[in-house]
Structure 1
């Protein structure tokens, strides 16, 4: 199947929620208002589409020259294993500034082996305050 990757300025809540459901990503999809705010304030969204249908996306916040936080990486389970996630990460890194930019991704515990499997560099110097809701 031909997958088209693109930077999109807008991703609607319906498409986002559909892929999150189909991917198993843990996001507050029952709170549509929160999802809409998440999408409105992201400034880098890379999509993967097959025959126009959204099958994956990477949602990030970046300054395009020094840092990028890749907050969401989701691929429909029916399309996993096609290299879509890896390509979304590569496209995000390129669009965010390439070698000039540090890209940070906080993995869900269940996805750690995926990032290890694609040889994404691992950091041990991260500190964070976790969400309470």
Structure 2
């Protein structure tokens, strides 16, 4: 399998919806207008492709100088445990540089994954939850 990583390939809401469903990530995959807005307003999107199939995504919001929020990191379940998520994060970090802190909120089931790819756990965060 030869996975290709791209930051310049545009994706649409239907592609992202299919990936979200295939990855098991909890996202509003049925709300295509909302997904398109998520795509349109992201600062950085790295994607992973198996030929023409979208198999992974890292979607982030950043100021490019101090912090970056990694809002989505997901990989199709059939392609997990192949290093795709780790490579997406590496490419994102490479693009951002060493002076930008990468921040994310983890799903409970992924808490053990993030330390394996270089994230440190932080206990000093707060959030105001969105309405569903």
The answer to whether the superposition gives a TM-score over 0.5 is yes
Cα root mean square deviation, aligned:
1.3
How is 1:18-29 mapped onto 2 (pairs within 5 angstroms)?
Answer: 18-29=18-29
Measured after TM superposition, the shift of residue 51 of structure 1 is 1.4
Q: Is the 8 A contact 2:45 2:60 kept in 1?
A: yes
Matches within 5 A, 1:3-82: 3-8=3-8, 10-82=10-82
Question: TM-score scaled to structure 1, two decimals?
Answer: 0.93
Q: Deviation at 1:76?
A: 0.4
Q: CA deviation at 1:98?
A: 1.8
Aligned residue runs from structure 1 range 107-126, under 5 A? 107-126=106-125
Q: Which runs of 5+ in 1 are unaligned?
A: none
Residue 92 of structure 1: CA displacement?
1.2
Report how far residue 118 of structure 1 moved: 2.8
Compute the displacement of 1:10 (Å).
2.6
The TM-score with structure 2 as length reference comes to: 0.93
- Distance, in Å, in 1 between the alignment partners of 2:109 and 2:6 is 27
The count of corresponding residues between Structure 1 and Structure 2 is 132
* Displacement over 3 Å in runs of 4+: none
CA contact (8 A) 1:11 1:45 kept: no
- Contiguous gaps of at least 5 residues in structure 2: none
